[in-house]
Amino acid sequence: MTEHILYSFRRCPYAIRARMALAYSGITMELRELILKDKPAEMLKHSPKGTVPVVITQSGQVIDESLDVMLWALNQNDPNNWLNNLDDSLKLIEANDQHFKPLLDKYKYADRHPECTEEQHRENSLSFIKRLEALLQQNNYLLGDKIRLADVALFPFIRQYAFVNKKWFDQLPHKNLQRWLQHFLNSDLFSQIMPKFKLYNAGFRYHFPINQLIE
């Protein structure tokens, strides 16, 4: 293998945070864009659980958890010290991944969870949103005045949450969280990792993060 391989899906929040860390760290990859209902056999051979992102390193190591991909990338190159305050970042990421994400899924896909209305599912998620707002009332970012791992790891999920009903989200009395979200939405890093890639199963591969089609 001459290059690391990244299996990804553009809109998946786990894949977004992994791509952001990889691009920030300057690690070059062969990106293979998927749709999750049509997963290539070679990806499933390496990672049978069938979720993205999946990184296969040049040495053949398989990394198929998004946080592990982020840590792998940042341990190679972390120019702005995202790994500072790591213990606090990991605690916040655990709260997001283990507790908030299931509530987000119920809110986003409320028709699949008829035990509550969409509004009730949304209400159930608000305690975490208020927790983030409280942190951002103190500092520009979640753990201080500089970006840390937690900011980038949580951003794609708050983005997803906001866009379930953007009008409602924009009317929340959480101006600091809205500011924080907009900062990342407007960032060059986010723009860099979000072009619309053509599908690997249709024969397309890309040099990432320059996003150049491999001929």
Give the domain CATH number at 167: 1.20.1050.10
Same domain, 27 and 67: yes
Residue 87 has pLDDT above 60, yes or no: yes
Return the pLDDT at 2: 66
- In this predicted structure, the answer to whether residue 120 has a pLDDT above a threshold of 90 is yes
**CB distance 98 to 155 below 8 Å:** no
Q: Closest by alpha carbon to 13, among 133, 158, 174?
A: 158
Q: Does residue 175 share a domain with residue 105?
A: yes
Predicted pLDDT of residue 36: 86
Note whether 67 and 111 are same-domain residues.
no
3-state class of 206 per DSSP?
A: strand
Residue-level pLDDT at 182: 98
Give the pLDDT confidence score for residue 1 in this predicted structure.
Answer: 54
**8 A C-beta contact, residue 71 and residue 24:** no
- The pTM score is 0.96
Question: Minimal CA–CA distance to 143: which of 183, 83, 96, 100?
Answer: 83
